[in-house]
Structure 1
Amino acid sequence: MSATWDLPDYDDHEAVHLFRDAESGLSAIIAVHSTHLGPAAGGVRFWHYPDSTRAITDALRLSRGMSFKNAMAGLPMGGGKAVILADQAKTKTEDMLKAFGRAIDSLGGRYVTAEDVGMTDNDMVVIRSETDHVSGLPVESGAAGGDPGPYTALGVFLGVQAAAKRALGVNRLKDVHVAIQGVGSVGGGLAKLLAEEGARLTIADVSIERARAFATQYGGEAVEADEILSIEADIVSPNALGAILDEQSIAALRCAAVAGGANNQLATPADGQRIYDRGILFAPDYVINAGGIINVGLEYLGQGDEAEVKARIAKIPERLEQVWQESAETGAPSADVADRIARRLIGRA
């Protein structure tokens, strides 16, 4: 395996920590990209990786995205991310979660965790028994915090609205055809919000049964997972895992815009240019999907309630418009424009 700093996704990260607790079976990575604006905040992903290099690469990419996401969301927090390497059965135990909490605590507040793929707010409660540096805990109604998924979905929904307005020239989503890839916490929440506005939905998921269930519930159509990115639609919305927009899939796109909640949608930096060259509007993922971190970030900081969270999420379309306008004026892909703005905010211009 190459040294971490030789990997393509290493971006002058401040630290990459490897943790192993043999007794509980924990193997985890915590990547701290930047603490320029505050403690490195980002969730923990519980996932089975084919090898450790893939896991480290995921942590590197996701932590960099969190630096940019938190900066663009106006949060006084840096960017970090953790991954817990699950076995094929995805065995998760309380002892493992407690060991992970101790690992976080050993960093002295430089990293703040919350839930991501494979984790729940109840898992955060277990981790909280070993460290204060955790958010996304169950909260009372009206408070900031809890499951970030619905807040991410709300931000993505507002971003899809903004994309429809700019790319299609429409002020409402009725009859706008949206192809949704992935109906987990975020994609499922997005499907509900879009259906309420009268959008036409085509849905795919790694589980075709789940896709069919959502399609039945919201009056849409279900297709196989490998078909969704080439569906003819107004907007394609990736809401599963990352690196799904590459040379081949971008060439197959038949849409006016791509706007979804998945992290790190572009497989390589060159893919932002590829989408731009095709004349397809792209919503940079860490701008559109910031709703969840806004929620758990304000919870951790103790700044405001649910109303404040939603008020800040409502600014996501404004940030997207800023990026798209600069892209139109400069001829640079929106992905590059967003990166440039975010790097300036974290002192890496």
Structure 2
Amino acid sequence: MSATWDLPDFDDHEAVHFFRDVESGLRAIIAVHSTHLGPAAGGVRFWHYGDNGRAVTDALRLSRGMSYKNAMAGLPMGGGKAVIQADEARTKTPEMLRAFGRAIASLGGGYVTAEDVGMTDDDMVVIRNETDHVAGLPVESGAAGGDPGPYTALGVFLGVKAAAKRALNVDSLTDVHVAIQGVGSVGGGLAKLLAEEGARLTLADVNADRAKELAAEYDGEAVDTDSILSVEADIVSPNALGAVLDEESISELRCSAVAGGANNQLATPQDGQRIYDRGILFAPDYVINAGGIINVGLEYLGQGDEQEVKARIAKIPDRLEQVWQESAECGDPAADVADRIARRLIARS
């Protein structure tokens, strides 16, 4: 059996921790990619993986993405990520969450958690009973913190507007056709913001009824999840799970730009080149979806309120434009350019 550091997605991670609490049923992985800029910050994903190897791969890829995301967002935080291996019934108990909190506490502040897929701000309250190294807690109106989803959606919305300006040469989203894959907290919030701007929407989600409901509300169209990426649209916006852009799906794209909030959208490093070769503008996910970590990061650091959070999120289009401009000048894919910039920021060649 290969060691963790022999896995393709191991990127000189500083540490990968495995936790097991028999009494509560907790099985968790905390991957710390880098603490060069500060404590490794990144949410915890509660998910049923088909096998343990997939859970490890997710933790490795997501933690590396958090290093890049936090660096590009200008946060004094490193990158980490946790995954909790859920059973098929998605059984989650307070005892399991408290055990996870104790696992975080054992790292002495090296990792800071918040909610991700399958987790809520109420779950963070339970975890907070065992450790101070947690963000995304319920907060009063006007304060930084709470559910990061709406802030991620806001950043993605601003990124979609930037992509439309760059790829379509338009200043308004009126009648711009956006195909959204995944209409949960982020994708659903994005759909609302886009509809308010007059965009035309095509939606898909594993919860087909949810997609149909939102499509009816926003005068859009709902399609099945198998066809959403090949819909003829101005912009395709992946907002579900990662690795959806591979050789096959990229060949079927019929859009001018891809700009969405899902983490790790590219299945392999070569897929950034494939999108570039097709002349499709790509918004690197960890740049466009940084709104949530900006929110909970400032909460944890005690630096500013909701107004400050939104002011920092408003800078996301400028970061995307920097990546796109450098890509245009050097002829390298936007995904590669963003990686280079992020790695310089965290002092990796």
Q: TM-score range by the shorter chain?
A: over 0.9
Matches of 1:242 and 1:258 in 2, distance apart? 14
How much does 1:207 deviate? 1.4
Match for residue 80 of structure 2? 80
Per the alignment, in what secondary structure is the counterpart of residue 226 of structure 1? Answer: coil
Per-residue CA deviation, residues 94-151 of structure 1 (Å, 9 max, x unaligned), is 0000000000000000000000000000000000000000000000000000000000
How much does 1:154 deviate? 0.0
Matches of 1:190 and 1:68 in 2, distance apart? 23
Matches of 1:124 and 1:314 in 2, distance apart? 27
Per-residue CA deviation, residues 251-277 of structure 1 (Å, 9 max, x unaligned), is 000000000000000000000000000
Match for residue 320 of structure 2? 320
Range that drifts further, 9-18 or 205-214: 205-214
Q: TM-score, normalised by structure 1?
A: 1.00
Question: What amino acid is the match of 2:170?
Answer: V
Per the alignment, in what secondary structure is the counterpart of residue 227 of structure 2? Answer: helix
Per the alignment, in what secondary structure is the counterpart of residue 84 of structure 2? Answer: strand
Aligned positions of 1:301-340 closer than 5 A: 301-340=301-340
Residues 1:89 and 2:95 aligned together: no
Per-residue CA deviation, residues 137-190 of structure 1 (Å, 9 max, x unaligned), is 000000000000000000000000000000000001000000000000000000
Per the alignment, in what secondary structure is the counterpart of residue 255 of structure 2? Answer: coil
Match for residue 142 of structure 1? 142
Match for residue 348 of structure 1? 348
Per the alignment, in what secondary structure is the counterpart of residue 31 of structure 2? Answer: strand
Aligned positions of 1:65-76 closer than 5 A: 65-76=65-76
Match for residue 250 of structure 1? 250
Match for residue 278 of structure 2? 278
Matches of 2:292 and 2:219 in 1, distance apart? 27
How much does 1:217 deviate? 1.1
Per the alignment, in what secondary structure is the counterpart of residue 132 of structure 2? Answer: coil
Matches of 2:100 and 2:207 in 1, distance apart? 30
Match for residue 238 of structure 2? 238
Match for residue 17 of structure 1? 17
Per the alignment, in what secondary structure is the counterpart of residue 225 of structure 1? Answer: coil
Per the alignment, in what secondary structure is the counterpart of residue 29 of structure 1? Answer: strand
Aligned positions of 1:175-194 closer than 5 A: 175-194=175-194
How much does 1:208 deviate? 1.1
Matches of 1:267 and 1:242 in 2, distance apart? 7
Match for residue 218 of structure 2? 218
Aligned length, in residue pairs: 349
Matches of 1:2 and 1:29 in 2, distance apart? 17
How much does 1:2 deviate? 2.2
Match for residue 262 of structure 1? 262
Matches of 2:227 and 2:213 in 1, distance apart? 18
Question: What amino acid is the match of 2:294?
Answer: I
Matches of 1:167 and 1:98 in 2, distance apart? 47
Question: What amino acid is the match of 1:185?
Answer: S
Per-residue CA deviation, residues 10-30 of structure 1 (Å, 9 max, x unaligned), is 000000000000000000000
Question: What amino acid is the match of 1:70?
Answer: N
Matches of 2:50 and 2:221 in 1, distance apart? 32
Residues 1:292 and 2:292 aligned together: yes
* 5+ residue gaps, structure 1: none
Aligned positions of 1:107-122 closer than 5 A: 107-122=107-122
Matches of 1:209 and 1:5 in 2, distance apart? 42
Aligned positions of 1:127-166 closer than 5 A: 127-166=127-166
Matches of 1:74 and 1:85 in 2, distance apart? 31
Q: TM-score, normalised by structure 2?
A: 1.00
* 5+ residue gaps, structure 2: none
Report runs of 4+ in structure 1 exceeding 3 Å deviation.
none
